Amino acid sequence: TSTLLWLRRDLRLSNHPALCAALERGGPVIPVFIRDGAVDGLGAAAKWRLGLSLDHLAQRLGERGSRLILRHGDALDVLRALVRETGAGAVRWSRLYDSEAIERDKAVKAALSEDGIDAQSHAGHLLFEPWTVETQQGEHYKVFTPMWRAVKDCDVAAPLSAPSDLPRPADWPKSDALEDWRLGAAMERGAQVCLPHQRVGEDAAQERLEWFTTDAIDRYLTTRDKPPFDGTSGLSENLTLGEISPAQCWRAGMRALHEGAKGAEQWLKELVWREFAYHLLYHTPRIATRNWREKWDAFPWKDDERAAEIKAWKQGRTGVPFVDAAMREMYVTGKMHNRGRMIVASYLTKHLMTHWRVGQEWFAEHLTDWDPASNALGWQWAAGSGPDAAPFFRIFNPETQLGKFDPEGRYVRAWIAEGQDDPSETALAYFDAIPRRWNMAPTDVYPDPVVGLKEGRERALAAYEARAF
């Protein structure tokens, strides 16, 4: 009988254990993507980027004599309908680790099994599934470095190459048309501005991995923290959608390490930060929505979205160049350099004393590499409320940071047009990307800081000390 391959965040064909398991059954394989509540709940940019990925995957499947079947509705209802229509005897999928997905998948597995369908999930989205690594006390990790030490020498399974052809059913079930899903509809900003900055699909991700681990990883230690340089892998958008597997990244990083590349160990560490984020999301799901350290519930976070300071932060108009450059980079490219993410997050939660949830949600709406685990951990890390977090009293000074990481002002010139005689293309692109109602123009006068850096810092420290944190 046929096997339904239920795809979610595993939009690739190589190094795909669930696909291999489907092929091993021997019958036709029917790849399916379901637009359920989880997809509808994505932020605008992530949903748009997902559409690009699905389009790409459908083409790749087409080249292998297969198809991508698109359906919408409740996942279980859709899978049951497809089982009825195709006579499929099995369903395979790759596991996810956020609480909503776990709950849904458990219910799907139980119900399908009751129907007599062979329903199985597989690893593939992570290097180390959250229950496979634990401290010597048998607990989950709450600090990064011991987890890193525990896994750093691990070998992970060899990448399996993409099958050259997928056995097809005699008749294909009906599919929705991707255009009808209008996954880009909520992109308030100009999608055309954002498009050239996306690296879509498996081939592009693999090429980039090859380039990065061969030509760039040796310099990673010196360039990774400098936003004006293309010094990092840029693979986050591919990893979050599963266009490339973390196992393939790990093995390429390991190869570079064994060849003596200086930045390789640091890069492998970053891959483990992603694992750490999922480890925490699985073991302490509250990290996605509530202060991981509960004492922070008593902190006087601000969260009035209409407040002028918060609006200025969102629009890249705080008057603090590093913060504004990074926020605009996200608007135009859908991504933001990690140094930028740390600085805008520190500035929002500390200088502006705004709840990290405001920033987390804004990122979720605007990042094309949005990831439920890394975004939550990143925000709680920056705010000081998370596990292994930067302590609250360590407040980044965006000016000192600029001097250190962008001493020639290249990043700022790349993203801020106001005040420049001959603004760069990227800085101007920002004004094509933003909604009209923001009413901004490149000829505007660059704003004064919404809060003095010293004043903001002192205000945050006073609030922190008043609560004897």
Query: Measured from the CB atom, is 282 or 431 closer to ligand FAD?
Result: 282
Query: Judged by CB under 6 A, which of 56, 274, 351, 357 binds ligand FAD?
Result: 274
Minimum distance of ligand FAD from residue 88's CB (angstroms): 33
Per CB under 6 A, which region of 4-12, 120-128, 255-263, 369-377 contacts ligand FAD? 369-377
Dmax of the chain from CA atoms?
A: 71
By CB under 6 A, tell whether 367 contacts ligand FAD. yes
Q: Of 106, 145, 150, give the one whose Cα is nearest residue 128.
A: 150
Please pick, among 93, 181, 250, 301, the residue that the annotation labels catalytic. Answer: 301
> How many residues touch ligand FAD (CB under 6 A)?
28
Q: Taking CB under 6 A as the rule, which mask of x and - marks residues 46-85 in contact with ligand FAD? A: ----------------------------------------
By CB under 6 A, tell whether 345 contacts ligand FAD. yes
By CB under 6 A, tell whether 413 contacts ligand FAD. no
273 part of the active site: yes
- 208-237 binders of ligand FAD (CB under 6 A): 224, 232-236
379 part of the active site: yes
237 part of the active site: no
Query: Measured from the CB atom, is 375 or 426 closer to ligand FAD?
Result: 375
**Contact call for residues 321 and 412 (beta carbons, < 8 A):** yes
SS3 per residue for the chain = CCEEEEECCCCCCCCCHHHHHHHHCCCCEEEEEEECHHHHCCCHHHHHHHHHHHHHHHHHHHHCCCCCEEEECCHHHHHHHHHHHHCCCEEEEECCCCHHHHHHHHHHHHHHHHCCCEEEEECCCCCCCCCCCCCCCCCCCCCHHHHHHHHCCCCCCCCCCCCCCCCCCCCCCCCCCHHHHCCCCCCCCCHHHHHHHCCCCHHHHHHHHHHHHHHHHHHHHHHCCCCCCCCCCCCHHHHHCCCCCHHHHHHHHHHHHHCCCCCHHHHHHHHHHHHHHHHHHHHCHHHHCCCCCHHHHHCCCECCCCCHHHHHHHHCCCCCHHHHHHHHHHHHHCCCCHHHHHHHHHHHHHHCCECHHHHHHHHHHHCCCCCHHHHHHHHHHHHCCCCCCCCCCCCCCHHHHHHHHCCCCHHHHHHCCCCCCCCCHHHHHHHHHCCHHHCCCCCCCCCCCCCCHHHHHHHHHHHHHHCCC
By CB under 6 A, tell whether 383 contacts ligand FAD. no
- Identity of the residue numbered 276: F
Please pick, among 270, 275, 329, 365, the residue that the annotation labels catalytic. Answer: 270
The answer on whether 371 is annotated among ligand-binding residues is yes
Please pick, among 273, 292, 381, 415, the residue that the annotation labels catalytic. Answer: 273
250 part of the active site: no
Per CB under 6 A, which region of 3-11, 13-21, 77-85, 339-347 contacts ligand FAD? 339-347
- 232-251 binders of ligand FAD (CB under 6 A): 232-236, 239-240
By CB under 6 A, tell whether 426 contacts ligand FAD. no
Residue nearest to ligand FAD (CB): 378
The answer on whether 267 is annotated among ligand-binding residues is yes
**What are the b/e assignments for 113-137, b being 16+ CB within 10 Å?**
eeeebebbbbbbbbbbbbeebeeee
By CB under 6 A, tell whether 349 contacts ligand FAD. no
Query: Measured from the CB atom, is 9 or 71 closer to ligand FAD?
Result: 9
The answer on whether 369 is annotated among ligand-binding residues is yes
Minimum distance of ligand FAD from residue 4's CB (angstroms): 29
Please pick, among 250, 356, 362, 381, the residue that the annotation labels catalytic. Answer: 356
Query: Measured from the CB atom, is 108 or 241 closer to ligand FAD?
Result: 241
The answer on whether 220 is annotated among ligand-binding residues is yes
Minimum distance of ligand FAD from residue 398's CB (angstroms): 14
Minimum distance of ligand FAD from residue 370's CB (angstroms): 4
Per CB under 6 A, which region of 75-83, 265-273, 282-290, 438-446 contacts ligand FAD? 265-273
Minimum distance of ligand FAD from residue 351's CB (angstroms): 15
The answer on whether 297 is annotated among ligand-binding residues is no
Distance CA 184, CA 369 (A): 15
Q: Within 13 Å of residue 287, how many CA atoms lie on the same side as its CB?
A: 29
By CB under 6 A, tell whether 346 contacts ligand FAD. no
Positions marked active-site:
270, 273, 301, 338, 356, 379
Binding-site members for FAD are 220, 232-236, 267, 369-371
Chain positions contacting ligand FAD, by CB under 6 A: 224, 232-236, 239-240, 270-271, 273-274, 277, 338, 341-342, 345, 363, 367, 369-371, 374-375, 377-379, 382
